[in-house]
Structure formats: structure tokens, C-alpha cells
Amino acid sequence: PKADRTLPKPLTIDAAHEVIDRAETIATDDWLGARDVALFTLLWGGGLRIDEALQLDHADWPSPPVDTIVITGKGNKQRL
């Protein structure tokens, strides 16, 4: 029989902060560090999958006074 596959575990708050801090320090350029910090913050803070985050573009960002982003995920399901 196949072995049971376990679901991935989320990062703890401390581990997430460590990943974000390291992303900035190991980058070769300042803009790469800023990009990586923004990406990891979005992934962890918003609970996004990598594919969902990478498919975002400037049209997806909210305009004031709205402060939510609509994410289209697997099966074209949308969530805020």
C-alpha cells in the first residue's frame, strides 16, 4: 500500500520572519532583496500559492479606498 502523504505545515511566525530577513540579506542587489521580501511577505501573509503570487500584475492591486486583492486560484476560484 501507498504511504500516506501529509499536508505541508505552515511556517511559524518566527520562522516566517527569519525567511523574510534572510531573503533581503542574501540578495545580490537591493532591488532583488526588496522583490524577494515583498514576494515572501505576500506568500506568507496572504496565504498565496507561488503560482497565484507570480500571476499577479499591477492591474490586480487595489485602488484606494479599497484594500483587498482578488486572487484567482486553482479551478478559477476567486478569494479576497
Q: Where are the alpha helices (DSSP H) in the chain?
A: 13-25, 30-46, 50-54
Average pLDDT over residues 32-57: 87
**What's the pLDDT tens digit per position in 4-31?**
888 888 889 999 999 999 988 888 888 9
- pLDDT at position 15, please? 93
Give yes or no for a cis peptide into 10 (omega within 30° of 0): no
- For residues 14-23, one letter each, b for 16 or more C-beta atoms within 10 angstroms of the residue's C-beta and e for the rest, the string is eebeebbeeb
- pLDDT at position 14, please? 95
Does the pLDDT at position 63 exceed 80?
A: no
The answer to whether 60 and 42 have CB atoms below 8 angstroms apart is no
- Closest of 70, 8, 10 to residue 43, by C-alpha: 10
